[in-house]
Copies of this chain bind each other. A is one copy, B any other.
Amino acid sequence: MVEEKKRVPGCELCEHTGGELVVSAAAWRVIRVRDADFPAFYRVVWQGHVAEFGDLDSASRALCMEVVARVEGVLRARLAPTKVNLAALGNVVPHLHWHVIARFAWDSHFPQPVWGPRQREVGAPAAVDRLAVTLDVLDDAVRQALADLA
């Protein structure tokens, strides 16, 4: 585990939380991204600085994906999204983090990835107000879903 806690000066996710901190554990943290187009957008950040998923050993990969799957589960249970998108890219910040994003047929980019071209303007109500629950309730549900791992 020593290597997994490595911190790299200048790495944005080593030096900053990276978003709204929802829950933090020894090996991982979950943050919520502030994004007006995609309000139900979480990131599972590995606390230690590793660039690639395969840099983790098997047990750490399993833990990491268990966290990802539980966040996905909360999004599905509370929001009934059209789809959940998962991604570990890290081209800009090569510190392992998983995007977990609830997507809806009405959202600004669907069915494009959130990084693709905008498909439409989402008028009133705003995206966050179209969710079945508030972000506070959603954050609480994420915390509860991860309580036994944190």
Contact = CB atoms under 8 A, between A and B. Distances in A.
Nearest to A113: B115
Nearest to A107: B91
A103 interface: yes
Give how many copies assemble into the complex: 2
Interface of A is mostly: mixed
A65 interface: yes
B54 A72 contact: yes
Contacts of A113: 87, 89, 91, 113, 115
Given A53-B69, A61-B69, A65-B65, A85 B76 contact: no
A22 to B, nearest CB: 18
A134 B115 CA distance: 30
Contacts of A53: 65, 68-69, 72, 84, 86
